[in-house]
Amino acid sequence: MAKTVAVVIREDPRRTHRPVEALRIALGLVAGNHATTVVLLNEAARLLSEDTDDVVDVEILEKYLPSIQQLEVPFVLPEFIDRSGVRTDFAVRYESDDTIRRLLQSMDRTLVF
């Protein structure tokens, strides 16, 4: 049975490979017919930046981004984040902290990276 899943990424992709790995996992969940939403907190928003040269495992990120884009994986970012660096060709919405909190509470499963 399909589940609703949130993949929360809060680590800095310039410092660890875990954010890119989290996106790979999210893509697998979407392909498995789970209703998956990716929440990007703090510096994790750099995963959707035009400038990803300093991201750890950038070659893996570049490999998976087209599939994530094509499948229209939904991303949620905090409304206060600087939006100027976030690419507009992804399914991104900006929400308040309270709305993000309610979203996470409504999910069947939450994975945090």
- Structural domain containing residue 107: 4-112
Number of domains in the chain: 1
Which pLDDT belongs to residue 28? 94
Which two three-digit tokens encode residue 12?
Answer: 């800095």
pLDDT band at 2 (very low <50, low <70, confident <90, very high): confident
Kindly report, residue by residue over 84-94, the tens digit of the pLDDT.
889 999 999 99
Which two three-digit tokens encode residue 17?
Answer: 């490979």
Kindly report, residue by residue over 22-80, the tens digit of the pLDDT.
999 999 999 888 999 999 999 999 999 989 999 999 999 999 999 999 999 999 999 99
Beta strands in the chain (DSSP E): 4-9, 35-40, 74-78, 91-95, 109-112
**Mean pLDDT, range 12-17, rounded to an integer:** 97
